[in-house]
Structure 1
């Protein structure tokens, strides 16, 4: 890609579809309500609107980058293909037995997630591979033919194949897939040795099952999207943002849709990381709040924290351990049900609850006037004076104060009391999630700077900083459509994985080097589809543990050919990573490597460094408004300032309200706000502003 390319990023959220169009003249952005029955229609509407704003013909667009929650939603709502699962005899019930952990210890009516594949649709074969790839029990061709016939008679739309230790030797999985394709070439088939070639059968089986379950639906949607874009006049190639924060071709996404699980939120983390680099910040808390959920992510040294497993479709929506664990590269973040559309209610004990149910875009919050009648976070912000009913979304969506009051009455409190309770509950839930996330990663949150974006985050971020003791907050330009802009800043990347178990004291450099060479070839083949000759970098990570431990930690290692003499290098890297997480190492225990991860990605351009303005001349004030300041527990008179007037060095003392089309920034009484050279707003705690 070049700086003159015209590129558009599109993020479909639970409430809004965000569009960001990058062109030589700048950036054009817009938000449209998500169309649940035809999600591609909202994309087309948004692209047309953004192109009109920029005065560009649709045919001039060079690249379309898309992120979607379609995969996650299909798994949560169980709207996938009729699926068969084939595994090794004796392991039919692995996905139902799970890890046997009890994630809610005192709930006597614990609800476990049901497997995506019912027991009657799970089939077994008498074959067996060993952990080193040795054939312990060969595959019987006659048994395979009999199983293929049963699959065809069952009328299945997709088949997932996950055999024991196939990460070490895939010949049996490939043979079964070939037998199925020979008689049913139209059948969607996923094999675990391609989708997730890693140790541990439970996440590997879950991952290949999830991929096969959504593959027909995702492939149909992406095909429909590409065709509709062509019909509309957009002939550009389409790329997808995968959950690890990189771009892949739409064809790859259609084959491996499980990589799209967190594609939208990952774009937001990339957006925040770009501003972290520009502002020279090495400790950042990314806060993304939209219409349905809020996401929190740690960004250190200019890169978001990543993981190789992810939990989806939780029965206790935000309870760790209650979902289905899949193995796919993902930007690691905490997600809670705290968006603008999150619905407030009173439980049986008379306690106020907010979320995880959301009014989404259909029918939307009560104040939208689209049929919603339940009180939401957006209704509460309107009642507290934080939103202007005449100028919401640039005036595109008029808000009805009377309907918010009617909805708030259902909580049994005065409207402002109810609204205060709802927003404080949401803010405290988010603050608690942030505290836990940083503590789990061995970090002290007070030393972080928050970067907030998404339509709802600028409304809540300042109050969140008060609760967390954070003294500096950045609201980037285009914050309302941050994830879509993040898509435009993402590299092309692909992570290849291999299960290769070794003790470090018995390190086999020859076997490791051969595996790494194959992994790099695989990753580069995918990256080269869209990189167009751009320079690339390679990152190598080993998942390691002490012998006897049940889980691994990621350890970054130098990417080069290894020798037997590198044992000390690997051991030291593990101990440094272990000490960072847990404060100490365990002397005398041998160390093991279970899986290898190799990522090839294009190199991002250096971010232009921003000179920080901490004070300056007073900005032009449009008018005075009032809003309820939660920290002071009272209504305060605030200065309303247009975001466009917050030029570099322009300053406003809180309380203040900074308005723009796509979001509103609330500056509480304890903070001031200063315009920055890149268009960002820097909010500083007053006693830290000297």
Structure 2
């Protein structure tokens, strides 16, 4: 084990989490600070200084630095990006308006179309055309450039997204147009689809390029300022950025492709959950990450998070596919809803209690934070119910006003629904917990999976506090709370590989594949990916994974199939037919005999080697922990007043058993063991909660 110091900082919507690790996984210090939205780097620096002071280290000693942020996501959701224009092939000006040529909700007469950032008056075209094979059919009309520049100047465009037909097959026209714009308008930021998302399907490719261009100036400025701020404090090591796909890249790569930073924080949480699953020998897991602004749920099988090639941003209808802006990037697939500690509660005009998705965030924050918030939140209800004890909250860095929280609940909710503050708080708690459980069930059904046999791994500032309540509603009977759960996503950053994934479209039939052409394509992709990874990993050993996206001829969607390292003859690829049919059978019950198999996309992922984790299956001898303190709570099972034992997690050792109700507190969060659960500490320091009625061990 080395003595290297590694720092991880995760900037969320409400809190910024900071973790300092020595060696492979010895956590020296961790902390939560309120996110400073005007300049997120300020809150990050405060957290860094705290952990350095607590561990008696200094920033110049840091040898590894990993950062994840919600800034890219929030900029897209809140529409805080640059003024963007598009340039497409002549005849394809209306790609964004046409979309998928369908309504996401067929019978909704008040349907709200997704905001795709570029109105028609900022959509421009140029005469050119490539074939799907990459042959030039119509040369690029460079004589049109003067008029095009005049149109861009008139519309006030700050950034340009270029997406020409079949540029994934031959990017020459896009590259020439980008270079010409850079020469004539050097202050104009340009994104081209053949760099950002070189795949077939023009609508998705254009949307991804638009989103990348939209946030690029903001993220370039932020990343440069962040790096400069820490360099001024003595940090000399490279800062690596967490990506949505669960890997890391350099700040320079992130500045070119900021769209890959969307959902980077939650990806760290999924990596942590996968690692915990491997250590505990769990093959079916539901990852539950609840922070101050959102809750994220992810399915993990065999210690690998479920992944996807597509993602929707800012859905107009929260749970309806097609109502948001589609982007095609490698992502860890999860469902995210506006349910966090800062989610605001209210009563609608029909007299119904509502919770979220609006959040008080860190500014002004929940009423109890005494920072100007006036509307009651989930955190205010947790304080009123007794689940959050002010004396131990956030290591004492944030003072809580429980009386004001209770008064806000009574005033805003209680008076309208004829409830006291406790009844209002209980209603808020039940609604938000059922919302998260419903999201988990929906995500599982969409993936063809069942939550019942899964173990929930809960973390985040509010995850352990709500885990037993959400698990009960979701039908999950076993919960694992890892060490340092309050900063779980930041801890997950430290176990992520430095990686880069490239996907390119190149149509081929499986039984008549041009092996030389495919191998040449892979060689080029691997070389490009290795160059990116080397900037962040140096000479570290890497591994390469090749995949093909295959389908039956004429189908509209593909299945991802792993490929061998290199195919030399047709005999080498014969097993791919069997592999495809087996995967097709898993998803659709049976293969289709006699159908030709085609490949649309090819992918390469180059990553530093994963640290293998051996399962620790030892079961320490159980003994009942004798608690000396209690705190009054409102029981989440029957709504009555009960005394819950109050225990510091640091006082528990492997084998200690705690029956519910109980509050197990630690520096950044508290675990609520509901009355129908019991908890024990396993051999590796996880808290394991078991629901009584359903048994288990």
Shared fold per TM-score greater than 0.5: yes
The alignment status of 1:167 with 2:174, answered yes or no, reads: no
The alignment status of 1:604 with 2:610, answered yes or no, reads: yes
Distance 2:619 2:185 in 1: 65
Secondary structure of the residue aligned to 1:394 is helix
The alignment status of 1:525 with 2:564, answered yes or no, reads: no
Match of 1:483 among 485, 489, 492: 489
Distance 1:175 1:155 in 2: 22
2:582 alignment partner in structure 1: 576
How far 1:390 sits from its partner (Å)? 2.4
Distance 1:608 1:649 in 2: 20
Secondary structure of the residue aligned to 1:450 is strand
Match of 1:664 among 666, 670, 674: 670
1:20 alignment partner in structure 2: 19
1:192 alignment partner in structure 2: 193
Distance 1:543 1:61 in 2: 41
Distance 1:532 1:522 in 2: 15
* Contact preservation (8 Å) 1:613, 1:674: no
* Contact preservation (8 Å) 2:115, 2:325: no
Structure 2 unpaired stretches of 5+? none
* Contact preservation (8 Å) 2:162, 2:209: yes
Secondary structure of the residue aligned to 1:51 is helix
How far 1:442 sits from its partner (Å)? 2.0
Secondary structure of the residue aligned to 1:92 is coil
Distance 1:569 1:629 in 2: 57
CA offsets, 1:606-661, max 9 Å, x none?
22532343751222424012323323343332211110012111111122110111
2:68 alignment partner in structure 1: 67
2:366 alignment partner in structure 1: 365
The alignment status of 1:585 with 2:591, answered yes or no, reads: yes
Say what the alpha-carbon RMSD is for the aligned residues. 1.8
1:106 alignment partner in structure 2: 107
Distance 2:628 2:31 in 1: 24
The alignment status of 1:151 with 2:158, answered yes or no, reads: no
Distance 2:231 2:213 in 1: 27
Distance 2:568 2:680 in 1: 51
Secondary structure of the residue aligned to 1:391 is helix
Secondary structure of the residue aligned to 2:225 is helix
* Contact preservation (8 Å) 1:96, 1:114: no
- The 5 Å alignment of 1:406-485 reads 406-409=407-410, 410-411=412-413, 412=417, 413-485=419-491
2:39 alignment partner in structure 1: 38
Secondary structure of the residue aligned to 2:282 is coil
Distance 1:543 1:352 in 2: 45
2:689 alignment partner in structure 1: 683
* Contact preservation (8 Å) 1:428, 1:467: yes
The alignment status of 1:641 with 2:640, answered yes or no, reads: no
2:541 alignment partner in structure 1: 535
CA offsets, 1:95-139, max 9 Å, x none?
122113322333211111222122222110111111111211111
Bigger Cα displacement from structure 2, 247-256 vs 634-643: 634-643
1:49 alignment partner in structure 2: 50
Secondary structure of the residue aligned to 1:328 is coil
How far 1:179 sits from its partner (Å)? 1.1
Distance 1:613 1:368 in 2: 41
The alignment status of 1:254 with 2:260, answered yes or no, reads: no
- The 5 Å alignment of 1:274-293 reads 274-293=275-294
Secondary structure of the residue aligned to 1:86 is strand
Secondary structure of the residue aligned to 1:343 is strand
- The 5 Å alignment of 1:592-631 reads 592-613=598-619, 616-631=622-637
2:341 alignment partner in structure 1: 340
CA offsets, 1:164-210, max 9 Å, x none?
10001111111111111222334311111111100100110011111
Distance 1:255 1:662 in 2: 34
- The 5 Å alignment of 1:166-245 reads 166-245=167-246
1:349 alignment partner in structure 2: 350
Secondary structure of the residue aligned to 1:446 is coil
Secondary structure of the residue aligned to 2:391 is coil
How far 1:588 sits from its partner (Å)? 3.6
Distance 1:327 1:681 in 2: 37
1:266 alignment partner in structure 2: 267
1:10 alignment partner in structure 2: 9
Distance verdict in 2 for CA 1:596–1:26, change over 3 Å? same
Distance 2:544 2:256 in 1: 24
CA offsets, 1:213-245, max 9 Å, x none?
111110011101111111222222111001101
How far 1:689 sits from its partner (Å)? 4.1
TM-score w.r.t. length of structure 2: 0.96
1:137 alignment partner in structure 2: 138
TM-score w.r.t. length of structure 1: 0.96
Distance 2:432 2:82 in 1: 36
How far 1:676 sits from its partner (Å)? 2.3
How far 1:566 sits from its partner (Å)? 4.2
How far 1:59 sits from its partner (Å)? 1.0
Distance 2:37 2:135 in 1: 49
The alignment status of 1:674 with 2:665, answered yes or no, reads: no
Structure 1 unpaired stretches of 5+? none
Distance verdict in 2 for CA 1:145–1:77, change over 3 Å? same
Distance 1:406 1:453 in 2: 29
* Contact preservation (8 Å) 2:285, 2:456: yes
* Contact preservation (8 Å) 1:615, 1:651: no
Distance 2:644 2:398 in 1: 23
Secondary structure of the residue aligned to 1:392 is helix
